[in-house]
Structure formats: structure tokens, C-alpha cells
Amino acid sequence: MYELIIIGAGPAGLSAALAAYEKGLRKILILERDKEAGGILNQCIHNGFGLQYFKEDLTGPEYAGRLIGMLKNTSVELCLETMVLEITLQKEVHTLSKREGYRILQAESIMLAMGCRERTRGAIGIPGTRPAGVLTAGTVQRYVNVEGCMVGRRIVILGSGDVGLIMARRMTLEGAKVIACVELQPYSSGLTRNIVQCLDDYDIPLLLSHTITEIHGKKRVEKVTVSKVGKDCVPIAGTEMEFYCDTVLLSVGLIPENELSRQVGIEIDRRTGGPVVGENMETSAPGIFAGGNVVHVHDLVDFVTEEGRRAGEGAARFVKHGAEKHGAEKPATPLQAGNGKGIVHSIPRQTGPGRADGSVDRTAGVRDTIELICIMCPKGCLLSVAIADGHAVTGHSCEKGEKYGTEEVLHPTRVITSTVSIQGALHRRCPVKTCAAIPKDMIFAAMKTLEKVKLHAPVHAGQVIVKDICGTNVDFIATRDMERIALC
């Protein structure tokens, strides 16, 4: 008998286990169907994570590593490569694994942390043939960042979600040509800072109020037809454009993963696609809690972690005080999409003059003034840099914004994240990053240097992989531990 069984070892599940342990639970089990803990963070090698929770700029693997490391000194059990087939209202968890076979585990409480999945081509109904080369952005992220497989060389991206924007940059750095990012709505669904550093930095066009109306090709994608759409999102005749490409990346939204929730009869919120939960993250089934992207899709992993902790704390109270006392708390009611507190997170999406797509023209504004978007945090503040006034920066909400505004005008820099080949580890690629920002005009030279690097496991997070990259006095370092495994 476990006090708490958590389904999913992503940031929500890991943080829930930590919170429940801190509140006094000792018999906690995390079930994960993958070969390692960390969830989707393991393939998100880019930085920008942890700015709110850890107060640091971390990559996905670094963020996951922090949470996993915090569990090492606890009694929390982690069972990998284990599929959960069913849960019951009696808090039985039916599992299947290669090592243990079929098992039925009993718990006093359950935490649902299965995350979310991507919408596919079938979900949005793009007309045309069914050739190879139509992939979701998250799948491509896995292929490129973990398995080391390039999926194409000429790419069109449908949708401007954050994963799609980030993969536009990633594929460009790997040598592919991203022809365009096509968005159905008259605005981007991704963070403003990602538009700047993933599209604008590499001159990738963003076509707003456009969509793919047909995919052409037999064995492989050969081209796509893109049309402008009206306010009703219906394609406008006579606006068709053809783009020759071999790959289409779909970044058209995420859906909470709730087959287990529906199967047990938990009430689902039609607006979010996730369980209806109360303030303590308890679902309509007493003793069954949920948190993270399984409840609703979050913009930031920091919010996922906070929500996971709240679910873990709720489960601990349920176990320690019993169902009767716990039942006196506020019952499950629908929460708005946001941080789980009933607050909708609204990330400002700044727009400015000079571009038809609504993005900011960095050269626009009054004489001797440059306007640009800050990329130092998700707020995406619109900055004005007065050249004639000693590069005075206005519009920033923090010191980082002021520093960024000055540096972006005088000598723009970026932190680079990528991967290098590794042998003897679970995956073929080891994620790395520059330990500091390097000049933007050195990015492709730095990427060329990484092509020659071949590592052998084990490698440890923080280990220097390439010293003094391109004479910048900045090192490439590993961002996760890569242990040696026995090769068959």
C-alpha cells in the first residue's frame, strides 16, 4: 500500500512528489512509461526555463536534472518503463512493464501528471495527399535533439506555437532552410521573445492570417499550397502561393492527456480538455489529484511545477487527515486556464509599426531611437533605446531589460544551445550550451565547431565540451548527465 502514486515523471509529477514528501508522506511511488524521468524537458534543449521557480536561466535538461536531484535524498520510488493501463475509484493502479509484468498497486491517493500531446494533421484536416514528411513539431524535436536524425532540408511550419518557433531556429542552426512559418490567426500564439530570437534573428517570415490549404507529393512532401484567410478563417480564392519543401512541421496546439481520467469517470472541463479541479487540485473523484499540463496547457514549466507542488500538498493533506476532514475543503470547481489559482496568465504580446504581420520593426520610431523586444523573460517588454542620449533605455520592467537594450544595439549576443554526438549513452545526442552569450555573428561558426565533436559516455552536467569556442572566451558545456549503458 502506497500513500501516494503519481502517474508521470515530468515536472508536475516530480514536484508533486517533492511537495508530498516535505509534508510528511514517505511511501510515494512515481510511475513513468519512458526510459528516464524528466518528461518532455529532456528534449527541450533550449534555455529559458526556471526564470521564476529557480530564478535562473536553465535549459530543459538542466531544469529536469534539478528536480530529479532534489529527489535523490528522499524515499520516493521511481519506476521507469511502466505503462499505467487503468485506475479505479478505489485507488487501484493497473500497470504493465517488461520487468514486473502486470501488477495492481493500491494507494491511498493518486496524482495524475500525464502531461499533454500534440494535435496531428488528422485533427485539423489539411487537404491533400498523405506523403512522408508531415510531422508534429514535438516529434521533430525528439528526432533532432535526442535521436540525432534530421527530418528534412526545406521546411514549412504550420502554426506559431512556441515549440514550432523554437524548432524553426533549431532546424536553421542544423543547416535546414525554414521557408516560412504560417499562422491561421492574425496574431502569433507563441511568446513574443520566441518570435524575436527564433524567427526575426534568422529572417524567417511569419505569415499571419494564412494557412496550408493543400499538401502535394506522393512518397515525400514536394510542395504546399498556402492561402490567405479572412476573418472567418476561410481561405480567400486567388491568394494561393506554392512553397516547394520536403517537410511540413505542425505546431497547432496541445491537448491534455486524459484517457485515464475519462476511463475512471472523472469530470472533464470542456474548455480546457482537462479534469475539473478545486483549489487543492483534487478532481471530482475524492483522493485523486491532477496537476500540470494534464489539467490545462501552460505557457511556462514554472507554472507546471507550482501546480504540481500544490497537488502534492493536497494529496498529503488527504492522506494525513482522512477523507472526512479533507472533504470539508472547497470542492472541485472548474478553473480557468492559467496557473491553477483561477488566474489567467496573459503574456503581453507587443506589436509595433512597420510590419504587416504586427511584429516590431527594430528600426521604427522617432529619429535616433530604436525599438526592440526584450527576450530576457516571457514578459517581452517593448524597449526604446535613445541613441542620441547615450543609449538610454526605456520601457523595461527590470534591470535585465535595460542591460539587454543597450547590448542589443551595440553588440548583440545570444546563448546557443545545441547537441553533440555521444556514444555509449541511452541517447545519440548530448545537449550542450554556451556558458555565456556569444556574438550573434559567431553563431554559425560555433555550430560548425560542434559538428566535429564526438563524446563517449559518461558525461556530467557542467562538463566543458569545447573550450573557448571560436576565440570568444566562452565554453560549450554539457547540460545533463549522460551515463554509460551496456550496449547490446
Helix (H, G, I), strand (E, B) or coil at 330: coil
Same domain, residue pair 228 and 282: no
Show the cell assigned to 33. Answer: 512509461
Q: What pLDDT does 390 receive?
A: 81
Same domain, residue pair 126 and 238: yes
DSSP structure class, residue 376: S
Same domain, residue pair 137 and 243: yes
CB–CB of 477/416 below 8 Å?
no
Instruction: Please give the Cα distance from 190 to 185 (Å, whole number).
Output: 12
Over residues 376-401, the mean pLDDT reads 90
Q: What pLDDT does 348 receive?
A: 36
Same domain, residue pair 75 and 86: yes
Show the cell assigned to 160. Answer: 506559431
Which range marks the domain in which residue 442 is found? 417-478
- Please check the confidence at residue 337 and state whether its pLDDT lies above 50: no
pLDDT in tens, 6-28: 999 999 999 999 999 999 999 99
The residue from 252, 270, 297 where one domain ends is 252
Q: How confident is the model at residue 158 (pLDDT cuts 50, 70, 90)?
A: very high
- Please check the confidence at residue 115 and state whether its pLDDT lies above 60: yes
Number of structural domains (the chain) is: 4
CB–CB of 43/166 below 8 Å?
no
> How do strand 464-466 and strand 476-478 relate by DSSP bridges?
antiparallel
Length of the chain (residues): 488
The residue from 252, 274, 305 where one domain ends is 252
Domain assignment of residue 336, yes or no: no
Q: What pLDDT does 340 receive?
A: 34
Show the cell assigned to 337. Answer: 486556464
Cα separations in angstroms, 378 against 85, 178, 359: 37, 24, 16
Over residues 210-239, the mean pLDDT reads 96
- Please check the confidence at residue 351 and state whether its pLDDT lies above 60: no
Domain assignment of residue 218, yes or no: yes
Cα separations in angstroms, 64 against 71, 103, 334: 11, 28, 29
Q: How confident is the model at residue 359 (pLDDT cuts 50, 70, 90)?
A: very low
- Please check the confidence at residue 71 and state whether its pLDDT lies above 70: yes
Domain assignment of residue 340, yes or no: no
- Please check the confidence at residue 339 and state whether its pLDDT lies above 60: no
Over residues 32-54, the mean pLDDT reads 96
Domain assignment of residue 342, yes or no: no
> How do strand 4-7 and strand 28-31 relate by DSSP bridges?
parallel
Show the cell assigned to 256. Answer: 491534455
Same domain, residue pair 462 and 403: no
Same domain, residue pair 72 and 218: no
Same domain, residue pair 25 and 54: yes
Q: What pLDDT does 487 receive?
A: 54
Over residues 170-186, the mean pLDDT reads 97
Domain assignment of residue 331, yes or no: no
CB–CB of 275/290 below 8 Å?
yes
Q: Helix, strand, coil proportions of the chain in percent (round to 5)? A: 25, 30, 45
pLDDT in tens, 413-462: 999 999 999 999 999 999 999 999 999 999 999 999 999 999 999 999 99
Those residues whose C-beta lies under 8 Å from the C-beta of residue 276, and which sit 6 or more positions away, are: 266, 267, 268, 269, 283, 284, 332, 333, 334, 335
Give the residue from 280, 285, 292 showing the smallest Cα distance to 320. Answer: 280
Show the cell assigned to 151. Answer: 527530418
- Please check the confidence at residue 277 and state whether its pLDDT lies above 60: yes
Over residues 344-369, the mean pLDDT reads 42
Q: What are phi and psi of 326, to 5 degrees?
A: -65, -35
Same domain, residue pair 97 and 127: no
Same domain, residue pair 312 and 359: no
Over residues 361-385, the mean pLDDT reads 78
DSSP structure class, residue 78: E
266-269 — which CB contacts under 8 Å span 24+ positions? 266/290, 267/332, 269/296, 269/334, 269/335
Instruction: Please give the Cα distance from 368 to 202 (Å, whole number).
Output: 25
- Please check the confidence at residue 364 and state whether its pLDDT lies above 80: no
Over residues 124-142, the mean pLDDT reads 95
pLDDT in tens, 250-267: 999 999 999 999 999 999
Domain assignment of residue 271, yes or no: yes
Q: Radius of gyration (Cα) for the chain, nearest Å?
A: 23
- Identify any residues that bridge with 392 across adjacent strands, giving them in sequence order: 386
- Please check the confidence at residue 354 and state whether its pLDDT lies above 80: no
Q: How confident is the model at residue 345 (pLDDT cuts 50, 70, 90)?
A: very low
Q: How confident is the model at residue 109 (pLDDT cuts 50, 70, 90)?
A: very high
Domain assignment of residue 341, yes or no: no
| DSSP class per residue in 165-217 | HHHHHHHHHTT-EEEEEEESSSS-SS-HHHIIIIIGGGT--EEETEEEEEEE-
Q: What pLDDT does 486 receive?
A: 67
Instruction: Please give the Cα distance from 440 to 411 (Å, whole number).
Output: 8
Q: What pLDDT does 120 receive?
A: 93
Amino acid, single-letter form, for residue 390 = G
Over residues 312-332, the mean pLDDT reads 72
Measured from the Cβ of residue 46, the count of other Cβ atoms closer than 10 Å reads 24
Show the cell assigned to 194. Answer: 520566441
Instruction: Please give the Cα distance from 318 to 170 (Å, whole number).
Output: 44
Interior CA angle at 213 toward 211 and 217, to 5°? 125
Higher pLDDT, 148 or 334: 148
Instruction: Please give the Cα distance from 352 to 357 (Å, whole number).
Output: 10
Same domain, residue pair 157 and 241: yes
Interior CA angle at 223 toward 221 and 224, to 5°? 105
Q: What pLDDT does 338 receive?
A: 38
Angle of helix 11-22 versus helix 60-71 axis, rounded to 10: 30
Q: Structure pTM?
A: 0.89
Instruction: Please give the Cα distance from 336 to 320 (Å, whole number).
Output: 29
Strand segments, DSSP code E, in 295-340 are: none
Instruction: Please give the Cα distance from 213 to 124 (Å, whole number).
Output: 11
Same domain, residue pair 131 and 166: yes
The residue from 410, 429, 452 where one domain ends is 410
Domain assignment of residue 339, yes or no: no
pLDDT in tens, 278-314: 999 999 999 999 999 999 999 899 999 999 999 999 9
CB–CB of 267/332 below 8 Å?
yes
- Please check the confidence at residue 411 and state whether its pLDDT lies above 50: yes
- Please check the confidence at residue 368 and state whether its pLDDT lies above 90: no
Q: What pLDDT does 388 receive?
A: 80
Same domain, residue pair 46 and 141: no
DSSP structure class, residue 473: S
- Please check the confidence at residue 242 and state whether its pLDDT lies above 80: yes
CATH number reported for the structural domain that contains residue 109 in this entry:
3.50.50.60
Instruction: Please give the Cα distance from 169 to 178 (Å, whole number).
Output: 8
Q: Is the peptide bond before 458 cis (omega within 30 degrees of 0)?
A: yes
